[in-house]
Structure formats: structure tokens, C-alpha cells
Structure 1
Amino acid sequence: MRTLAIALLAAVALAACRGKPPPSDAITDGNPQRGLDAIQRHGCGACHRIDGVPGAYGTVGPTLQQIGERAYIAGKLPNSPENLQQWIRFPQRVVPGNAMPDLDVNESDARDIAAYLYHQ
């Protein structure tokens, strides 16, 4: 068990050094498959290009490809699972007047969407 824990910590540290996040479900406590469902339910693909999401070819908002490798979310928040979830839930509170509407995304869906986005 101790060896497994050390190996997991080493993998997380190595990923952090490369600028890549650890496994999405580990950092968000979400489920990428449920995130895909939530992305489709909330219509995120109408505005964003999102790999793996059927019909998600929107060009109104930025592409969400490789979001885990970006330094900032919405040009304002340091990229972290908590900040991504905050942005998904409350974009108008984070950057008032921006083009992304509040879509009434609940906490669970935000966790799952973040897991999906970091997973791709």
C-alpha cells in the first residue's frame, strides 16, 4: 500500500512539473462521463468547441481543448479545479458582463464538467 501511495504521489508531482494535471477525477472529484452528459445537457457546445462532444463546434466562446494546460481561466482566474468549477457555475460573478451566461449549473455538474474538460 505504501509503495502505491508513493508511486501515485510521484506521478502527480511529475505531471505538475510538466504542466499537465493529474487524472481529472482525482483533481475534481467529478466523473468525466457524467461531465460529457452535463456538457450536452447545458448546451456548452453551442458556443464552444469541445473535443469528444458531438456537435460541439461553437465559435462564440473559446475552444475548450487542452484547458488543463492553460495558465488562466477566462483570462482572470489561475487555472485550478476549484476556479474552473467557479467559472462554470458563476461566470457573471467572476467577470461581470462577459459573453458567457449563467446557465444554472449545479455544483455536481460543474465538478463533472471540469473532470471532462481536464480529461481530454
Structure 2
Amino acid sequence: MARRGHACAMRAVGTALCLLLLAACGRDDEKAPRVAGGDAVRGIALMAQYQCGACHAIPKVQAAGGEGGPSLESFGRRSYIAGRLPNMPDRLVAWIVDPPALVPGTRMPVMGVSENDARHIAAALYTLQ
């Protein structure tokens, strides 16, 4: 009888763990880092406006299939920006505004993106999981 009680208790623990894991599952953009003042929906529109898709393939951005730069698919899961900079919101905003200031010699040009617009673009990039 004690073994049956132990088995039931173990099953209950297993069930509780499964429920906790399921509760942690959600939309990918819920896991995205928060960018102060950033609006991801606005950022998608701004990436089209600044023609980021001329060089990058970007999911969610219409006609963004460029091949000159890396694809931005799954950007929100990347550890580094440009393969060198830790992927953190403030650093990403700075990168979008002035890439050569952070990585001299980078092929990514200054596109005239304001810091405010860069915050929206960064918020959008982090939703790409």
C-alpha cells in the first residue's frame, strides 16, 4: 500500500511539473526583451520605411528579402549583434542608429534612423523568434 501511495505522489508531482511547463509556454513575443519606448508594430512599419529589406530578409516585413546582409529571422534569439556585440536593448538601439560607431569597418551603413525610431525597430527585431 505504501508503494501505491508513493507512485501516486510521484505522478502528482509529474503532473504538476507538466502544468508549470505548459503555463510557461506562450507567444514568442512575450519572451522578447523589453525595449523602453519601443513599439514592435511601429518598428515593422519603420523597417519597411527605412528599406532594411534591401539588404536583409526580415519576416513580417513585406518585400524584405535582401541578401546583402544577414537574414534577421530569429534575431530575438541571437546572443550577439553583428557577431560581436552582446545583444542587449540599449546596445541594439545604438547599433541601429550608428553601426560604424560600434563596429568600425562594418558593411552596415548609417541609415539616418533616429534613436526613437531605432527603439521601435529594436522592439520589432526582438519579436523575431
- Please report the TM-score for the alignment, with normalisation by the length of structure 1: 0.77
Given the alignment of the two structures, is residue 36 of structure 1 paired with residue 26 of structure 2, yes or no? Answer: no
Which has the higher Rg, Structure 1 or Structure 2? Answer: 2
Give runs of aligned pairs for residues 58-69 of structure 1, distance below 5 A: 58-69=66-77
Cα deviation per residue 1:60-110 (whole Å; 9 max; x = unaligned)? Answer: 000111111111101111011111111111101111121110011101110
108 and 96 in structure 1: CA distance in 2 versus 1, 3 angstrom threshold? same
Match of 1:82 among 90, 93, 96: 90
Task: Tell me how far 1:38 sits from its aligned partner.
Answer: 0.9
CA RMSD of aligned residues (A): 2.0
Question: Are the counterparts in 1 of residues 47 and 53 from structure 2 also a CA contact under 8 Å?
Answer: yes
**Cα separation, 1, equivalents of 2:113 and 2:30:** 24
Partner residue, 2:56:
48
* Matched letter for residue 66 of structure 1: S
Which residue number in structure 1 is paired with residue 111 of structure 2? 103
C-alpha displacement of 1:23: 4.9
Looking at structure 1, the residues matched to 52 and 126 of structure 2 have their Cα atoms a distance apart, in angstroms, of 15
- In 1, distance between residues paired with 2:29 and 2:91? 14
| Alpha-carbon offset, residue 41 of structure 1 | 1.0
Contact kept, 8 Å, 2:45 with 2:61, in 1: the verdict is no
Segments of 5+ residues of structure 2 without an aligned counterpart are: 1-23
Aligned residues of 2:99 and 2:106 also touching (Cα < 8 A): yes
- Give the ranges of 4+ consecutive aligned residues of structure 1 lying more than 4 Å apart after TM superposition: 20-24
Code of the residue aligned with 2:107 in structure 1: it is: A
Instruction: Specify the code of the residue in structure 1 equivalent to 2:74.
Output: Q
Structure 1 stretches lacking a partner, 5+ long: 1-13
Structure-1 separation of matches of 2:81 and 2:30 = 18
Question: Could you tell me which residue of structure 1 aligns to residue 80 of structure 2?
Answer: 72
State the secondary structure of the residue aligned to 1:99. coil
